[in-house]
A and B are shown apart, each in its own frame.
Chain A
Amino acid sequence: MRIGSPKETYAADEGLFRTRTQWAWFGILLLSLVLFPFLSNLYWLYLVCLISIHVISATGLNILTGYTGQVSLGQAAFMGVGAYTVAWLDNHAATPFVLNLLAAGGVTTVVGMVAGLPSLRVKGLYLAIATIAASFILHFVFLNWESVTGGARGMNIAPPQAFGHELANADTFYWLVMPVTVVMVLLAANLFRTRVGRAFIAIRDRDISASVLGISLPVYKLMSFAIASFYAGIAGGFYAYFFGAINPESFPLLMSIFYLAAVIVGGLGTILGSILGAVFMTLTPELLRYGVDVMEPFVDDASALLSPVRTMVFGLLIVGFLLFEPHGLAEIWRRVRRFFHLWPFRN
């Protein structure tokens, strides 16, 4: 609770940014996002583009899992649907990239709603398992519907064109992916100021109580799946453009686990959590690689250890956060902020 910010209207109480200080920080954030490409190198831009894609997808998953309480292990497969939509349109229709991305979102929304149908019948762990099944079935489709998906060889995608420029590298791609990420994250944050978002939260907290209150479970559960898959579809479309080639192995079950882990590590049911989680889970492997480079002269075969150590650290992060910090990085962030708010008066 912040001192000196009386809320005199409901609108003020629901506002995303409630004080001038918050607006100022948000402005600084936007400004630094604009300045970033001029101050950094291609490697960091590459990482930030990747993080943006992960943030979009993780935000979608957080709407579904963190806010609506429907655990999904199908996020990567949904991204695959988006990526293949973009790839197909790019190869067969040569439509502009904006249209392709929107189509990716649309197609994925429909697929996600179909995959979400079991949520009307089962919930909790059973639903998680049903989404595993859905993602296996989608993987099978990617692999075997050769006339559309190119089978195991996959597909190539030409870089998007804007104003006569090819957005082929991270330095130009940044200007496409970053604004979209900011807009989508803001949309997600605003969703929970509306009736729909609150219905999601009510369903998460207790679905039976929610339905007693007059919230239609089928409608809102499917809507949550639709929104989450729309985010996944857009993220998948960017993924396809960013890497220029996709195949069925680009979207394994492990990647769905990665997103769920990002959401848990970041903080279930907070928008900030999806951002922090995606950043953290993308940077940790890079950090490990850096660590291995440092160890190289001292340990035999250090580079061969990289992949297993990565797998292990990934698992340890999930276990460790669930055991010791179940509210994730967002909660740590909040603690740090509280410390500075109250600073010399309380430690």
Chain B
Amino acid sequence: MEWLFFFEVSLAGLGFGALYALTAVAFVVIYKATRVINLAMGEMLMFGAYLFFGFAAGMALPVWLALVLALLGGALLGLGLERIVIRPLLGENPISVFMVTIGLSSVLVGLVEIIWTATPRSLPDFLPSDPIFIGDAFVAPKTFWSFVIAAVVIGVFLVLFRFWRGGVALRATASDQGAAYAMGINVPAVYSLSWGLAGMLAAGAGILLGSVAGISSEMGVFGLTVLVVVIVGGLDSVLGALVAGLFIGWVESLAGVYLGGEYEHLMTFIILMVVLLLRPWGLFGTREIERL
């Protein structure tokens, strides 16, 4: 085995892993605030990427404006879904809510295919494309820059989560909803906030993913791997999402190169099975105690 090659493959995997981590954070925010496992996350990500495509390529707006509009559109999508579909189902059987998000993902795929057809597209280039070397190892510039951007966004998000009033309200609601209500926190607003934030994060991840790998109406499958990431990391742990995101990205990349492309998903799902059997609450998640 050649170490330089191994190193390059690992770097590529970590670059992809950062996108997993970014989407997984969005997933965790929704789960923490509303206890909803959002299977439509991959499709929200796809929708954000297509919005960017629509603004930047379809309407020929400047890239920065398209970016802002796409992020806002992603946030609006999150807010709308929460208000129209998720809120009426709060307190219902979690399985129903889970199924509703599966239905939503189907709706979003249909919507994107109606507006933009099912043909795969590529996003306009906006990341710098000079080759990047870390030591002797070559990193694809798009992967490198998407990693950097994802890391910055996650950093900003963590700071917000820690110090901003909204972030504190979110964490308070997550730890005890009743107490949060009693302290005057507007819990329904926190629900909206969490979905809006998650929608924005997902749209950002979608744009980055789209600029690395192109966009298609099937890119929502990405969401399934993110599901594995959040289960491995622990559904309610931001730290878990980051660690597991990088880890899964790394494993997938190694499996893809050394075992063959068809093993990528097999590896992630085998990891998922093992984690579910040994430690269902994930690496950093809270273990739930069931009472009658």
Contacts and interface: CB of A to CB of B under 8 A. Distances in A.
B276 interface: yes
Most buried by A among B85, B105, B106: B106
Interface residues of B, number: 42
Given A257-B102, A309-B110, A317-B103, A121 B95 contact: no
B106 A121 contact: no
Interface size class of A (residues with CB under 8 A): 35 or more
Contacts of B272: 129-130, 133
B68 interface: no
B96 A140 contact: no
Interface in B81-121: 85, 88-89, 92, 94-96, 98-100, 102-114, 117-118
Contact of B100 (A121, A124, A209, A322): A322
Contact of A319 (B104, B112, B224, B262): B104
A312 B106 contact: yes
Contacts of A316: 103, 107
Nearest to B260: A144
B267 to A, nearest CB: 10
A134 B269 CA distance: 8
A260 B265 CA distance: 23
B273 interface: yes
A264 B92 CA distance: 15
B269 A311 contact: no
A209 B292 contact: yes
B95 A312 contact: no
A312 B107 CA distance: 4
Contacts of A136: 265-266, 269
A208 B292 contact: yes
Nearest to A313: B110
B37 interface: yes
Contacts of A208: 290, 292
A260 to B, nearest CB: 7
B95 A130 contact: no
Given A314-B106, A315-B106, A322 B96 contact: yes
Nearest to B96: A322
Contact of B89 (A117, A206, A322): A322
Interface in B208-258: 224, 227-228, 231
A312 B277 CA distance: 35
Contacts of B99: 260-261, 264, 318, 322
Interface stretch (A176-184, A300-308, A335-343): A300-308
A310 interface: yes
A311 B280 CA distance: 32
B148 interface: no
Which secondary structure dominates chain B's binding surface? helix
B103 A318 contact: yes
A60 B262 CA distance: 31
A229 to B, nearest CB: 18
B118 A315 contact: no
Contacts of A311: 106-107, 109-110, 113
Given A126-B280, A133-B273, A71 B103 contact: no
Nearest to A301: B117
A318 B110 CA distance: 14
Contacts of B227: 129, 132
A187 interface: no
A143 interface: yes
A308 B277 contact: no
Interface in B184-201: none
A137 interface: yes
Contacts of A129: 227, 231, 272, 276
Interface in A88-130: 117-118, 121-122, 124-126, 128-130
Contact of B273 (A118, A308, A315, A319): A118
Contacts of A257: 102, 106
Contacts of B65: none
Interface of B: 37, 85, 88-89, 92, 94-96, 98-100, 102-114, 117-118, 224, 227-228, 231, 262, 265-266, 269-270, 272-273, 276-277, 280, 290, 292
11 contacts: A130-B276, A133-B270, A144-B262, A261-B99, A307-B113, A310-B110, A312-B107, A315-B108, A318-B103, A319-B107, A323-B100
Given A257-B102, A315-B110, 17 more contacts: A126-B231, A130-B272, A130-B273, A133-B273, A140-B262, A144-B262, A206-B292, A261-B103, A308-B113, A312-B107, A313-B110, A315-B102, A315-B107, A316-B107, A318-B102, A322-B100, A323-B89
Interface of A: 71, 117-118, 121-122, 124-126, 128-130, 132-134, 136-137, 140, 143-144, 206, 208-209, 257, 260-261, 264, 304-305, 307-319, 322-323, 326
